[in-house]
């Protein structure tokens, strides 16, 4: 297992998790100024180290992929969802291995043990508090989108307060694509399914939050590129510091 500093200036490898954690804490305290207490820094490091060992899926992008199928994550697909997040989603980025896509619902909160985050998201999926979709390629989960009601997202509770009621909006908060399937249209297939299902879910709008400044880093594209939303008839609704709110009515035709 290994831990990489959040500033990318040091990496610690080994088999003893707690030894790696203490090396990391000593590095952080000796090199960086961070406002977090030692126990929170240790917890972040433990989560990273355990993700680096757990996330053992392939990291090489495939030159081509088969057809893409998209399904909502209902009870019978939770095991597929767990396999995806436990092993295949972040083998190239263990820093995100403890998120399990809970962050949109909670907003910024102190670090938590990854098993607690995982358990909370499973319960949200089972209760319907979170709704998302898995994309499959040749029967293998290849990608995920969180497409819950905006009313469930603490991260976006300040979006367009004079606009549509949050419980009438499906918010497309995160795309997570396993490394072999990136840049093969998986996010587009997921977004198309979200748009197609909006009416049946009783929503009036579908909304996205693409970053205002995009990067070439695949891991930085988790909100989806603006161009993908533009091509499907989403129009800008509100600007924020880091992202643009884009929205389209359910049932409207995409622009040519």
pLDDT band at 255 (very low <50, low <70, confident <90, very high): very low
C-alpha span between 160 and 166 (Å, rounded): 9
Assess if residue 35 is contained within a domain: yes
By the 10 Å C-beta count (0-12 exposed, 13-18 middle, 19+ buried), 178 is classed as buried
Beta-bridged to residue 145, according to DSSP, are: 133, 175
Does residue 236 share a domain with residue 149? Answer: yes
Assess if residue 62 is contained within a domain: no
Does residue 118 share a domain with residue 217? Answer: yes
Strand order in the sheet with 169-177: 68-72, 132-137, 140-149, 169-177, 205-208, 244-249, 235-239
Q: Which domain holds residue 10?
A: 2-54
Does residue 101 share a domain with residue 37? Answer: no
- Look up the CATH number of the domain holding residue 132: 3.40.630.30
The total domain count for the chain is 2
Does residue 160 share a domain with residue 82? Answer: yes
Assess if residue 231 is contained within a domain: yes
Does residue 108 share a domain with residue 38? Answer: no
pLDDT in tens, 90-105: 999 999 999 999 999 9
pLDDT in tens, 162-217: 999 999 999 999 999 999 999 999 999 999 999 999 999 999 999 999 999 877 77
User: Does this model's pTM top 0.75?
Assistant: yes
Q: What per-residue confidence (pLDDT) applies to 251?
A: 82
Which of the 8 DSSP states describes residue 42? H
Phi and psi at 3, nearest 5°, equal -135, 135
């Amino acid at each position: 297992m290994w831990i990489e500093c959040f500033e990318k200036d040091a990496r610690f490898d080994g088999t003893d998790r707690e030894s790696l954690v203490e090396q990391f804490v000593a590095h952080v305290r000796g090199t960086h100024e961070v406002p977090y207490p030692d126990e929170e820094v240790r917890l972040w490091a433990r989560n990273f180290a355990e993700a680096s060992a757990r996330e053992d899926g392939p990291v090489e992008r495939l030159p081509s992929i088969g057809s893409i199928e998209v399904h909502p994550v209902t009870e019978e697909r939770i095991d597929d969802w767990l396999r995806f997040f436990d092993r295949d989603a972040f083998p190239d980025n263990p820093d995100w291995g403890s998120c399990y896509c809970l962050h949109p619902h909670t907003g910024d909160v102190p670090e938590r043990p990854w098993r607690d985050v995982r358990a909370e998201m499973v319960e949200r999926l089972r209760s319907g508090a979170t709704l998302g979709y898995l994309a499959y390629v040749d029967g293998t989960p290849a990608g995920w989108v969180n497409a819950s009601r905006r009313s469930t997202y603490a991260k976006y509770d300040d979006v367009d307060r004079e606009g549509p009621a949050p419980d009438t909006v499906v918010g497309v908060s995160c795309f997570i694509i396993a490394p072999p399937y990136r840049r093969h249209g998986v996010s587009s297939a997921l977004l198309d399914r979200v748009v197609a299902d909006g009416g049946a879910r009783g929503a009036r709008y579908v909304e996205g939050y693409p970053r205002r400044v995009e990067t070439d880093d695949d891991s930085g594209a988790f909100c989806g590129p603006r161009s993908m939303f533009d091509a499907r008839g989403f129009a800008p609704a509100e600007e924020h510091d880091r992202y643009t709110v884009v929205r389209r009515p359910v049932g409207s035709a995409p622009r040519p």
